[in-house]
Amino acid sequence: MPNIKSTIKRMRQNEKLRLRNRAARSVVRNRIKKLIRTLKEGQVAEAENLFPSVCSALDSAASSRLWHPNTASRKKSRLSKLILKTKQAANA
């Protein structure tokens, strides 16, 4: 445990930030999992309705640097491909 006041304060701040970041990452992961789950169940229309909220969560994670912007972009691209692929399979 540090003795210096500024270091003690910095540790408190880091802990708060860590918990906030952890919660935000959890929200993004849960939305992605929900989207994939609905696709596996074959509910393409529901997945298309969820996709904008997933994109929004990914964009906010990228803007706050929780995730690298390229990672967020890659995930959005792959999810949109997955939706299109599932949609085409359902129509065929």
Task: For 18-31, write each residue's pLDDT tens digit.
Answer: 999 999 999 999 99
d(CA 53, CA 87): 19
Q: Is the dihedral of CA 35, 36, 41, 45 positive or negative?
A: positive
d(CA 36, CA 65): 24
> Is the per-residue pLDDT at 92 higher than 80?
no
Question: What does the domain layout of the chain look like in residue ranges?
Answer: 5-91
SS3 43: coil
Task: For 63-88, write each residue's pLDDT tens digit.
Answer: 999 999 999 999 999 999 999 999 99
Residue 62 — very low, low, confident or very high, per pLDDT cuts 50/70/90?
very high
5-91: what CATH class? Answer: mainly alpha
* Tokens (6 digits) for 90: 């359902």
